[in-house]
Amino acid sequence: MKRTKKIALIMLAVALMAVCFVFGASALDATGQCGDNVYWSFNENTGELVIYGEGDMWNYDESPFSFSDVTKIVVEDGVTTIGENAFYICDKLKSVSISNTVEIISEYSFFCCRSLSEVNMSEGLRFIGVNAFYGCNRLVDIVLPDSVTVIESLAFAECSLQNIKIPDNVTYIGELAFSLLPFLKDITIEGIEVELDKNAFCITTAIIVGI
């Protein structure tokens, strides 16, 4: 039964990766609203998208940013949550800077952003959702802030991470959160009370230090 479940999880991960190879293009308006009190400004000449305002971004079924020409995202102070599917398959996105007021990166927020190579995370970040950075296969390095407590399933699966340090305050790491990482060398877990799903680091030959 355990082996069957593990195979099923791997098949799910592969199926999700196939979604990344949907082709399309989307024109993005210069300005718009993406939360009750959150807005965007897009410079088509530089490719920079600025998210600003107060409170949470909306959750999306279909994001206005997917397949757009956005290459850089700056989330300014005042924004507290990056919504579900917010930047789903922004395939030209290269860098993201997240302000210290952001506490939650919701599920599928940066799913299959295949050009994403730089992420500066919020120092106030607490929660990283399911599939948040799944399939970001140019993402080699990520620094998780000390404030993070939960890393959900498949959050960083199918990335190109080489080293991972799990901060002391992390209490839970979900299924396949750091799976299918062919270049991963070292995993350091600083906390002693972290709950690891048994498949959290599935399909990696990395050396795990701290457990």
How many angstroms separate the CA atoms of 28 and 68, rounded? Answer: 6
Q: Let me know: does 88 contact 63? Beta carbons within 8 Å.
A: yes
Positions in the chain short of pLDDT 70: 1-26, 203-205, 207, 210-211
Question: Strands (DSSP E) along the chain, which ranges?
Answer: 31-35, 38-43, 48-53, 55-56, 72-75, 79-82, 95-98, 104-105, 118-120, 127-128, 150-151, 163-166, 172-173, 186-189, 195-196, 207-209
How many angstroms separate the CA atoms of 124 and 100, rounded? Answer: 5
pLDDT of residue 80: 98
pLDDT of residue 177: 96
Q: pTM value? A: 0.88
pLDDT of residue 25: 55
Encode pLDDT of 24-46 as tens digits.
Answer: 556 899 999 999 999 999 999 99
Q: Which residues contact 31 (CB under 8 A, 6 or more apart)?
A: 39, 40, 41, 42
Vertex 193 angle, CA 187 and 195, to 5°:
70
pLDDT of residue 142: 95
